[in-house]
Amino acid sequence: MTSIQIAPSILSADFCNLERDLKAIANADLVHVDVMDHHFVPNLTLGEPIVKRICEVTDLPVDVHLMIEDPDRWAPEFAKAGAYSVTFHMGATHAPVRLARQLHDMGVRACFAVRPAEPVEPIFDILEEFDMILVMTVEPGFGGQKFLGNQMAKVRRLRDEITRRGLDTKIQVDGGVSPTTAHIVAEAGADVLVAGSAVYGAEDPAKAIDQIRDNAQAAYKD
């Protein structure tokens, strides 16, 4: 049975109390770190020195989501900083296969992301190169946006292709995931769920993580 993984996004954490907020999600499977550069997306967050400190401080694997221009140049720096996985966007990367292989050579998992208006089918030709595909369920850039249910057909097509070819590629969804939408993404075949505001906006972040995981696990269909 596939086990659902929950990756809280620290975008909704308190950046002045990051160590405290990392401890609050100890029951998560990964910690999701959103890197934004004010160019690929309008927002600006944090860079490699802070990711390095997060990797040193947390026991969780660090899942770095690059929403930056020129990831071909910068992604390896995040691998060096100690990331467990590095995600880069279809709309920003020039040579995704070369970059995935470079990350693998550094011992880091490679993930390819599509925005809501981008098709997933072009990735089918290079699917074996990636450990995980991220299907955005909001337009990237900000936490707390409304979940885009219209992305579920894309998740399902991707899950069916992965199953048909006997691959173990993970499918991540990011944006608007909460205890009330978790079953929708899991039913469509997603198995790594990012949640920012639903975790850090909850009174008890650890409890919110368990709720999201339980609801998704009950609904998962491969």
Query: Which residue numbers are catalytic?
Result: 34, 174
Site for ligand DX5 in 41-100 (CB under 6 A): 65
CB 129 within 8 A of CB 101: yes
Q: Is 135 in the site for ligand DX5 (CB under 6 A)?
A: no
Of the candidate residues 13, 198, 208, 212, the single one contacting ligand DX5 (CB under 6 A): 198
Least CB distance to Zn ion at residue 102 (A):
21
Q: Is 63 in the site for Zn ion (CB under 5 A)?
A: no
CA 142 from centre of chain: 14
- Using CB under 5 A, which of the segments 33-41, 78-86, 95-103, 150-158 binds Zn ion? 33-41
Q: Is 195 in the site for ligand DX5 (CB under 6 A)?
A: yes
- Closer CB to ligand DX5, 5 or 9, in the complex: 9
Joined tokens for residue 90:
């279809």
Q: Is 152 in the site for ligand DX5 (CB under 6 A)?
A: no
**Residue burial 67-99, b: 16+ Cβ < 10 Å; e: rest:** bbbebbebbbebbebbbbbbbbbbebbeebeeb
- Closer CB to ligand DX5, 21 or 34, in the complex: 34
- Closer CB to Zn ion, 10 or 100, in the complex: 10
Least CB distance to Zn ion at residue 166 (A):
28
Joined tokens for residue 185:
């993404």
Handedness of CA 157, 159, 163, 168 (dihedral sign): positive
Q: Is 170 in the site for Zn ion (CB under 5 A)?
A: no
How many residues touch ligand DX5 under the rule CB under 6 A: the total is: 22
Of 217, 192, 195, 216, which Cα lies nearest the Cα of 206?
195
- Closer CB to ligand DX5, 11 or 171, in the complex: 11
Handedness of CA 202, 205, 206, 208 (dihedral sign): positive
Q: Is 145 in the site for ligand DX5 (CB under 6 A)?
A: yes
- The residues pairing with 134 across neighbouring beta strands, listed in sequence order, are 113, 172
Residue 76 is classified by DSSP as H
- Using CB under 6 A, which of the segments 76-84, 87-95, 143-151, 163-171 binds ligand DX5? 143-151
CA–CA gap between residue 97 and residue 217 (Å, rounded)? 32
SS3 call for 74: helix
Residues lying near ligand DX5 in the complex (CB under 6 A) are found at 9, 11-12, 32, 34, 65, 138, 140-145, 174-177, 194-198
The residues that touch Zn ion, with contacts defined as CB under 5 A, are: 34, 65, 174
